[in-house]
Amino acid sequence: MGPSAPANTGQYPNLNIPRRSAAEQLGSSEAKRAERDLKSAARDQGKDLDRSTVGKKDMDELRKLGATHGADALKEIEGE
């Protein structure tokens, strides 16, 4: 169930009530630690990828498929 519509109470709302935060703010040490972790993750991104997952034979087949796929798909769509 979604949020309910505001209720018409016939009175003006009290806008002087201070709002409560949904969560506590990060302290400076927590913010620095989070920034350091993010920078470390960005540097390490892709470091563990195995570059040899696609062999030469597979690459040749993929290139051939890429060259012919568009024409084959159009023939199928046009009913030829």
- Show me where the domains of the chain are located: 55-80
Torsions phi, psi of 29, nearest 5? -70, -40
What's the pLDDT at 51?
60
Q: Please name the residue ranges forming H helices in 1-80.
A: 28-44, 56-78
Distances in Å between the Cα of 4 and the Cα atoms of 1, 7, 67, 74, 77 are 8, 9, 55, 51, 49
Q: What is the pLDDT of residue 49?
A: 61
Can you tell me the distance from the alpha carbon of 78 to that of 80, in angstroms, rounded to the nearest whole number?
Answer: 6
Binned at pLDDT 50, 70 and 90, residue 1 comes out as low
Q: What confidence tens digit (pLDDT) does each residue in 10-67 have?
A: 888 888 888 888 888 889 999 999 999 999 998 888 776 666 566 777 888 888 888 8
